[in-house]
Amino acid sequence: MDRATSSLQHAHAASGIQPPAVLIEYICGTTLADYNAAKLPNLPFTIFRPLFDAVSKFKDLGVYHGDVSSSNILVSPSEAPVRAALIDFGRAGVREDGESEEDWAGICDFYSDEDGSRLALKANGIPWPVHKSCAE
């Protein structure tokens, strides 16, 4: 388990909030879909990296978003984005107590938040970094 995951789990346990809660923040910005439709300058992948690092941990943390798309990624500030945030958790869910690993994996595969992330970027002309394999 990496430090970020451990910190998130510790912070939740220490908060004493039951049931688990979602922190909500007002962010002034525009959706990636609207930003792209306005034909504004291309955005660098680097502003999306923290968002997609977090999305990749959802399954291990027992949550899913369920609707990752360019309409649910907000870039901020609108004029010169330096940050991306995931919005609209209306289809989100959490792992139920006693849910088997197999069932949870199936649910996460069905909602496929990581695939949605990559497709949202690709549809908006933002290249996903290509990594060389260790075998090369």
Q: How many helices (H) and strands (E) does the chain have?
A: 6, 5
Tell me how far the alpha carbon of residue 30 is from its chain's centroid. 16
- The C-alpha atoms of residue 14 and residue 37 are separated, in whole angstroms, by 43
Joined together, the tokens standing for residue 32 give 């990636």
Question: Full-prediction pTM beyond 0.75?
Answer: no
* Superfamily classification of domain 26-123: Transferase(Phosphotransferase) domain 1 (1.10.510.10)
Instruction: Please report, for the chain, the start and end positions of each structural domain, with discontinuous segments joined by +.
Output: 26-123
pLDDT digits (tens, 9 = 90+) for 29-59: 999 999 988 888 888 889 999 998 898 888 8
Structure tokens at 17: 């909030």
Residue in 88, 95, 86, 85 with CA at minimum distance from that of residue 64 = 95
Q: For the segment 59-96, what is each residue's pLDDT rounded down to a tens digit?
A: 888 888 989 899 999 999 988 899 999 999 888 888 88
Cβ pair 5, 60 in contact under 8 A: yes
